[in-house]
Amino acid sequence: MEPAIALNPLPLHATGILEINTKAIAHNYNTMRALLQGSICAAVLKANAYGFGANAVARTLAQEGCEHFFVAHLEEGLELRHILKSAHIYVLSGLLPGTADLFVEHALTPILNDYGMAREWARRGRKLPCGLHFDTGMHRNGFDKADTAQLFDSIDVLDALDVQFVMSHLVSSHDSKDPLNKQQKDLFDTIRKRFPEAKASLADTGGVYLRSDYHYDIARVGKGLFGLFPPPHNEAPLLACAKLLGRILQVRTASCGESVGYGATHTLMRDSKLATIGIGFADGFDRRLQNSQAEIHGHKALVVGRISMDYTVIDVTDVPEALCEVGAWAELVNETLTLDALATSIGTISRELSTGFGDRLHRVYV
């Protein structure tokens, strides 16, 4: 199967392609924005936009009217600022020692996670915008109880901050029946009363599908942008945005009873035709995906033997010979072989797979 026409030309030497459908990303953004009914739909583009390419995704979303973007680390914010000259860019990890000047120089807004960060930001000599992250149950980032009490007792620090919004992070937003959602919301409501002029942000992708009172002023949408979240059945579907394709490098035959790959973990049950494709675990095709499937023009081909660093072997015995010649393409991820389904099959989550896509893959945007 030939890759779709891409915005970037495909090198003749390419052996692996990550094809990203920007129309699907735009659809997902607008679908979730409609659910928010006026609340800001901010895009979370951390980890290189979940592995799909922050620069291209940012441009796509900006064209759809997105003006608010979240990243995890300062380095990501600096890179994104080169693309988005006037957007609001928030850095979730906040300040590391000595980095405050970079935030100011590049008009990045830190999310302050503890009292030390708040005090450092307050010392800048003028009020500068920031967000405040309060931990309501994740116990990862954010003001804990002791830091929260210290902040509330430090009127001089609070007065020196331009608090744009307060935020927290839901633990189990993917499960609408989990009582932790309400416990966190109740605690968040108590905290935000101390900041009546500031906006509020609690919902991630899963939180958008909770009741509208979880939406507040800003929702932080990440995995949903890429169709990596199954909405409730009564909601509009999100579209998968990615295909992973590997080029066939060699086709060989092997006899019934022979083994394939490292450790001889797969034994052939018939005389077989095998194709070696130029993608391996170094490209993000997880080693645990042995026994998954590939597709060649709709024909199924089983992944056989252990996936190695640079190569994957598929059984093309039942694929017409003309479709699996050297140079042809096999799909390892597509609309039916989804990242969510592959992740479930090996007991992980789709974001672990997507963020593992390696630099050798040629990302093309269609």
pLDDT of residue 9: 63
By annotation, the residues acting in catalysis are 46, 262
Q: What are the average pLDDT values for consecutive 10-residue runs of the chain, which has 366 residues?
A: 53 93 98 96 98 97 98 98 97 97 98 98 94 98 97 97 98 96 98 97 97 97 97 92 97 98 96 98 96 96 98 98 96 96 96 96 94
Give the residue from 135, 159, 156 showing the smallest Cα distance to 147.
Answer: 135
CA–CA gap between residue 345 and residue 301 (Å, rounded): 17
Tokens 């295909």 sit at which residue?
Answer: 243
Query: Going by DSSP bridges, is the β-strand pair 299-303/312-315 parallel, antiparallel, or unpaired?
Result: antiparallel
pLDDT of residue 125: 85
Angle of CA points 147, 73, 217, to nearest 5°: 65
CA–CA gap between residue 108 and residue 127 (Å, rounded): 14
Token reading at 306: 């252990």
Q: Are 45 and 57 in contact (CB under 8 A)?
A: yes
pLDDT of residue 59: 97
3-state secondary structure 41-103: EEEECHHHHHCCCHHHHHHHHHHCCCCEEEECCHHHHHHHHHHCCCCEEEECCCCCCCCHHHH
Give the residue from 90, 86, 88, 54 showing the smallest Cα distance to 71.
Answer: 90
Residue type (1 letter), 200 = A
Could you give all domains of the chain from N- to C-terminal order, each with its CATH number? 22-226 (3.20.20.10), 242-365 (2.40.37.10)
For the stretch 155-189, what's the b/e string if a residue is b when 16 or more beta carbons lie within 10 angstroms of its beta carbon?
eebbebbebbbbbbbbbebbeeeeeebeebbeebe
Taking the CB of residue 61, how many other CB atoms lie within 10 A of it? Answer: 28
What is the pTM for the complete model shown? Answer: 0.94
The helix (H) or strand (E) run that includes residue 273 is strand 272-277
